[in-house]
Structure 1
Amino acid sequence: MASTSSREVAHNGLWKNNPALVQLLGLCPLLAVTGSVVNALGLGLATMLVLAGSNTVVSMIRNHVSEAVKIPAFVMIIATFTTCTELLMQAFTYELYTILGIFIPLIVTNCMILGRAEAFACKNPVAISLFDGLMMGGGFGLVLLLIGAIREILGSGTLFADMHLLFGPIAENWTLHLFGEGYGFLIAVLPPGAFLVAGMLIALKNIIDDRVEKRQAARREPVTTGTKRVRTTGVIS
């Protein structure tokens, strides 16, 4: 894996071509289950596992599958990894699985996963395809986590509540109460709150990108400190 390629893949997945903030894929689960950090983290990890696994297998079989059955084969691979992830959650994080509900099996229909299989994994070697899956899944998961944290803080006044659903008894005392007992801001935990938070994050990314682009353009412009006429061999410059 070339270092330049890995940097580009990481930059694309985490920022430049982020699935949630730029491609706007997977918005249904992103908006539906990000009412808390534990929900967002659980879905983010599940999605990243499916994406990394499916990318790896698609890359391994890319030279052995004809165009006629390529998409059905990709869907079967994604469905297999989704089922495995679902069974793992049922075995080890059953309460969290019941909270996330239908959004775990619906990972199969996430356009981000099939899109990466079609656009990247079936055209690149195994190592870089696995890395692409981790970065794209990580970028999607980070946005889920950020939205979940903001909504949990604004909506309930807590952070890291119910983390034992994912990490077990060790995380029972991780809850931070930021605004005291009785605090609540209902709109933040309802679907409109998810739209508002996601919209603000997209706007913030666009502002940052615009400022970075302007700064880079300013650096590329020639710096002139005044007009200077120099005569050399009959040529005036």
Structure 2
Amino acid sequence: MSTETVEAPVAKESEALLSKRRKKFITDPLNDDNPITVQVLGICSALAVTTQMKPTMVMALSVIFVMIFSNLIISLLRNAIPGRVRIIVQLAIVATLVTLVNEVLKAYAFDVYKQLSVFIGLIITNCIVMGRLEAFALGNKPYDSVLDGLGSGLGYSWIILVVAFFRELWGSGKVFGYDLMGAIGFENFAANGLMVSPVGAFIVLGFIIWVMRARSGYVEH
């Protein structure tokens, strides 16, 4: 009988919950691969709902919620979804989540619901949401898909919040309804009507895109 000892195979180390690779799912959409400033997606809502901070914040949270849970559900079902109907399945899941958001807002934040109006429903066809389901969630594990959804949602959200901040501030002198200009000594601040129009949104968003692309050195190909 051999006295030679056989070593047990060493189990492969599992990847850390926030490894360098996984952190990039969250950090890349915030700057280098931002869905609005780089991919130029979700522009309609960025221009339409950003006249005030409050509805913009609700819109941002709604998109983050829908992105995280639609990515999660599609990833969990990815091996069971026939390729021929994958778009229909994605739309059905996103529509269900958007309907849930819509009903919660209608029940608990009706004033904001009226301000956002049809734009909550348009999350269903938001290119950012559908793009991440098709490009990422269908081919990756649930946890990675959740991080990807969170990162893309945050990347979208911080841009529209910055746009809303400057539009509300320059358009009315207020932020979240608080008279900020008056508080810092500009009691006679003259509101800029341009900022409450879509043209004002284009100007602010264009400036943000220019600054971000200049910093990153991004060039259209």
Please give the TM-score of this superposition, normalised by the length of structure 2: 0.86
Tell me the residue number matched to 1:52. Answer: 68
Tell me the residue number matched to 2:199. Answer: 192
Tell me the residue number matched to 1:15. Answer: 31
Structure-to-structure mapping, 1:141-220, within 5 angstroms: 141-161=157-177, 175-178=178-181, 179-180=186-187, 183-210=190-217
Tell me the residue number matched to 1:115. Answer: 131
Segments ≥4 residues shifted beyond 6 Å: none
Amino acid at match of 2:141: P
- CA shift, 1:210, in A, is 2.2
Give a deviation string over 1:126-167, Cα, whole Å, max 9, x none: 111111111101110110100000111111111121xxxxxx
Q: How many Å separate the matches in 2 of 1:151 and 1:2?
A: 36
Q: Which runs of 5+ in 2 are unaligned?
A: 1-16
Give a deviation string over 1:176-233, Cα, whole Å, max 9, x none: 431325631100111100000000000000111129xxxxxxxxxxxxxxxxxxxxxx
- CA shift, 1:5, in A, is 1.8
Tell me the residue number matched to 1:215. Answer: none
Tell me the residue number matched to 2:116. Answer: 100
Please give the TM-score of this superposition, normalised by the length of structure 1: 0.80
Tell me the residue number matched to 1:168. Answer: none
Work out whether 1:70 is the aligned partner of 2:86: yes
Secondary structure in 2 aligned to 1:160? coil
- CA shift, 1:114, in A, is 0.6
Q: How many Å separate the matches in 2 of 1:43 and 1:32?
A: 11
Amino acid at match of 1:81: L
Q: If you compute each CA radius of gyration, which structure gives the higher value, 1 or 2?
A: 1
Q: Which runs of 5+ in 1 are unaligned?
A: 162-174, 212-237
Selected match of 2:97 from 81, 90, 98 = 81
Q: How many Å separate the matches in 2 of 1:45 and 1:127?
A: 20
Tell me the residue number matched to 1:30. Answer: 46
Q: How many residues align?
A: 199
Amino acid at match of 2:104: L
> Contact between 1:157 and 1:180, CA under 8 Å: does it hold in 2?
no
Q: How many Å separate the matches in 2 of 1:20 and 1:210?
A: 16
RMSD over equivalenced CA pairs, Å: 1.6
Work out whether 1:130 is the aligned partner of 2:137: no
